[in-house]
């Protein structure tokens, strides 16, 4: 297990759709372990494999108060999303120093392959729901700021360039 480096924005890999995992192997489990170590070192509440340059549909989330409850996901998909919304500040270690309030569905049901290789469905609420949606965006080559208006996105990216 190891903490892996983040690829910096605007690396083209952050805009690519990650490849499906299919059958979960020990190699995938080792990547998940590294991802959890990396997420904890940030610290953060989620991480998608493309953020560390691994172009597979792998993600981890842990929005628990006491930590140590990371959920490992391969090939996650949103099955249902609530009409009610939550707004949370979101950021990314790939673009450090900036964040934005993003509004997303407050509850989602996600289908994913777990660490045992079983396809499961799980409901996520609140910050858990925000984090898993954020990670699924990364797997689709989207960044959190893609959910902002063009004006707000341009301002955020300008601020990030100044911070670098």
**pLDDT, tens only, 42-67:** 989 999 999 999 999 999 999 999 98
Q: Pick from 39, 46, 50: which is nearest to 15 by CA?
A: 50
CA angle 84, 92, 103 (to 5 degrees): 15
What are the start-end ranges of the H helices in the chain? 26-41, 127-139, 150-163
At 133, is the secondary structure helix, strand, or coil?
helix
What are the Cα distances from residue 79, in Å, to 19, 67, 134?
Answer: 19, 26, 15
Decide the pairing of beta strands 99-105 and 85-91: antiparallel
On whether the CB atoms of residues 72 and 34 are closer than 8 A, the answer is no
Residue 58's φ and ψ, nearest 5 degrees, are -120, 140
Digitized pLDDT (tens) for each residue of the chain, 164 residues in all: 799 999 999 999 999 999 999 999 999 999 999 999 999 999 899 999 999 999 999 999 999 999 899 999 999 999 999 999 999 999 999 999 999 999 999 999 999 999 999 999 999 999 999 999 999 999 999 999 999 999 999 999 999 988 87
Q: Global pTM?
A: 0.96
């Amino acid at each position: 297990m190891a903490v892996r480096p983040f690829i910096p924005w605007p690396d083209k890999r952050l805009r690519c759709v990650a490849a499906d995992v299919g059958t979960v192997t020990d190699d995938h489990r080792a990547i998940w372990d590294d991802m959890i170590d990396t997420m904890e070192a940030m610290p953060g509440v989620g991480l998608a494999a493309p953020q560390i340059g691994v172009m597979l549909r792998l993600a981890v989330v842990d929005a628990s108060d006491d930590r140590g409850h990371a959920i490992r996901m391969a090939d996650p998909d949103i099955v249902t999303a609530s009409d009610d919304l939550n707004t949370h500040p979101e950021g990314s270690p790939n673009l450090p120093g900036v964040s934005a309030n993003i509004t997303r569905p407050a509850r989602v049901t996600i289908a994913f392959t777990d660490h045992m290789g079983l396809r499961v469905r799980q409901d996520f609420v609140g910050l858990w729901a925000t984090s898993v949606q954020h990670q699924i965006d990364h797997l689709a080559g989207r960044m959190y700021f893609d959910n902002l208006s063009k004006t707000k996105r341009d301002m955020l990216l300008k601020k990030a360039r100044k911070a670098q």
